[in-house]
Amino acid sequence: MRLLIRTVALTSLKELSRRRVALLFVFLLPLAFFVLRIEVHWQALRFLAIGVGWAIATLALFSHVASRRIDSRLAVMGASPSALFLGRQLALVTLGLITAGAYFVVAAVSLDVPRLAAVALLLATTVLIAAPLGALVSMLIPRELEGALALLAIMAMQLLADPASTAARLLPFWSTRELSSYAIEPVGVEVLHSGLLHAAVTLAVAFALAWVVSVLRIRTVKLVEPT
Amino acid sequence: MTDSWTRSLAGHLIDCGVEPAEAQNMAADAAAEAEIAGTAPESLYGPALAYAATLARAARPVDGDPLDRATGRVLLRLDGVSKRYRRRWVLRDVSLTLRGGEVAAVVGANGSGKSTLLSICAGATRATRGVVQRTRRVGFAPQQHGVSAWLTANEHFELFGAVEGMNRSRATTVGTGLARQLGWNPRPRQIADQLSGGTQQKLNVVLSELHRPDLILLDEPYQGFDQESYVDFWDQVYAWRDAGAAVLVVTHLLHDLQRIDHVLELSPVDDA
């Protein structure tokens, strides 16, 4: 199973790396968000993180939709549906963390951030949530256009919702907003704790749901050996 | 030399289930044709054993019983298999027993449920009714979307090989060897999206047999093949069969049918 997870992750990374225009947009989208708000540092950081989350979630959506048929075929041959899911997620998280690392450097150089480690934390948690979120949307809405529009709606709500409202806490990247506040504003450690708790719960729920739905979607019928 | 080859051919034809008198006539005809051509029959037809198998298949009526040939254990059994999507039946009461060393063809008009049947045999679709029993080691080549557009042939071999625990080097060696048997030499850096339709199908077929399965399921796998590749493909099917595998092929090319052991003809289900 370890060999299969590693091979699926490596081949997924190769597939993604060849979609150069898509990758370009993955890098440019957060940058566009960031540059548009560069004058207001806390907003620039927040938009940057949401941009990274949106880009990685969309990449995950397209990756999982594109691999559905070939994963079904591999499952017929005996591949573990869990290994296929974990391998693809590993590739997406790796790519997401590389993107996050690049934008951490951009934020560190361009912004006046009192708590720089919190920026790394918020970018990393955003990526970790975005990869299974995109996968989950791809399984519930298994068409690229419709799925991308669903993610767009989620991200738009995320940017527009009042963070103090209960509804905002139900959105997947509420933690990103909390952690960006902790990074820039003079707030107490309780903001860090609430952000991390939200991130952990959201990550666990998104990952578990995406995993279960993925296994249900591509698992094969158990057939007995002929007698 | 000629007499020995002719006797050997007649003997092998009888072993293949051809009536003795007819076998003698066929062997004598082959020897006579070689004499007219001014060459030894072995040079013209190849080894008597291999030519006997070809002649025996050609001599068998299309709707006849399977060839009298040693076959292995049952690898696929369908008994009264039916499939319904919502209120519409797409398959009704399909039965088939396929053993190792046999080839079966599924034929029928568009919409008769051929691909659905193959998907049921693969385990990707659940039958609404009936019994499906199948060996665990199966290779499956779907009609469409069987390969990833952004991966090279070697990366496909690596991915599919990993399912059976094959390392990269072994998977690439085996995959390249199988591709060459279909007259294709994969280029290391060429992704599937850049291959012609026929070559993509060759990749699709190679992936179905990479792990040496006991049962190979192929859904119209030769779309886009040129004539030479088409012949290579069928030679490959018979090589799998002779090695003990069972092969189930969805096809619509009727002249294939005289070369196979079972023909399963499906008709669109009339709900009325």
- Average pLDDT for A216-223: 90
Contact status, residue B156 vs residue B219, Cβ threshold 8 Å: no
- Residue A164 is predicted with a pLDDT of 79
Residue with structure tokens 């027993």? B97
Question: What is the pTM assigned to this prediction?
Answer: 0.80
**A109 within domain boundaries:** yes
State the average pLDDT over residues A45-60. Answer: 92
CA A144 to CA B26: how far, in whole Å?
A: 61
Q: How confident is the model at residue A83 (pLDDT cuts 50, 70, 90)?
A: very high
Per-residue tokens: B113: 């449920």
**Pick among A6, A7, A82 to test the B interface (most B CBs inside 10 A):** A7
Residue contact B124–A14, C-beta within 8 A = no
Q: Which residue has the tokens 């993107």?
A: A99
In a domain, A224, yes or no: no
Name the percent of chain B lying above pLDDT 90. Answer: 33
DSSP structure string for B129-147: EEEEEE-S-EEEE-SSS-S
In the predicted structure, residue A53 carries a pLDDT above the cut 90: yes
Q: What per-residue confidence (pLDDT) applies to B203?
A: 94
In this complex, do B163 and A76 lie within 8 Å of one another by their Cβ atoms?
Answer: no
What average pLDDT score do residues A74-98 get? 95
Question: To probe the interface with A, which of B159, B210, B214 has the most A CB atoms within 10 Å?
Answer: B159
The side-by-side arrangement of strands in the sheet containing B215-219 is: B138-141, B215-219, B246-250, B103-108, B262-266
Check residues B2 and A66 and name the one with the higher pLDDT.
A66
ipTM over 0.85: yes
Using a pLDDT cut of 70, give the percent of chain A over it. 100
Angle at B13 between CA B9 and CA B15, to 5 degrees: 115
User: Which residues in chain A are closer than 8 Å to B132, comparing Cβ atoms?
Assistant: 221, 223
pLDDT of residue A92: 96
Are B132 and A221 an interchain contact pair (Cβ–Cβ within 8 Å)?
Answer: yes
Domain positions in chain B are: 2-59, 74-137+213-266
Instruction: Give the chain B residue whose CA is nearest to the CA of A3.
Output: B162
Task: Tell me if B150 and A72 make a contact (CB, 8 A cut-off).
Answer: no
For residues B77 and B91, the answer to whether their CB atoms sit within 8 Å is no
Question: Which pLDDT belongs to residue B64?
Answer: 44
Give A-chain residues touching B137 at CB under 8 angstroms: 78
DSSP A226: P
**pLDDT confidence of residue A86:** 97
Q: What pLDDT score was predicted for residue B62?
A: 42
- A171: closest CA of chain B, how far (Å): 34
pLDDT for the residue A205: 96
Let me know: does A137 contact A212? Beta carbons within 8 Å.
no
Nearest to A225 among B124, B136, B150 (CB): B136
Query: How many domains in chain A?
Result: 1
Determine the structural domain holding residue A150 and report its residue range. 2-218
Flag whether A223 is in a domain.
no
Residues of chain B under the 70 pLDDT cut: 1-2, 16-17, 37, 43-46, 49-50, 53-54, 56-70, 253-258, 270-272
Query: Mean pLDDT throughout A109-130?
Result: 92
Question: Which residues, 6 or more positions from A196, have their beta carbon under 8 angstroms from its beta carbon?
Answer: A121, A125, A175, A179
Q: Which residues of A touch B130 (CB under 8 A)?
A: none
Class of the CATH-defined domain B74-137+213-266: alpha beta
State the nearest Cα–Cα gap between B89 and chain A, in angstroms.
20
Q: What is the mean pLDDT of residues A184-199?
A: 92
Please tell me the distance from the alpha carbon of residue B167 to that of residue B170, in angstroms, as a whole number: 6
Each residue's pLDDT tens digit, B238-263: 888 888 899 999 887 655 566 788 88
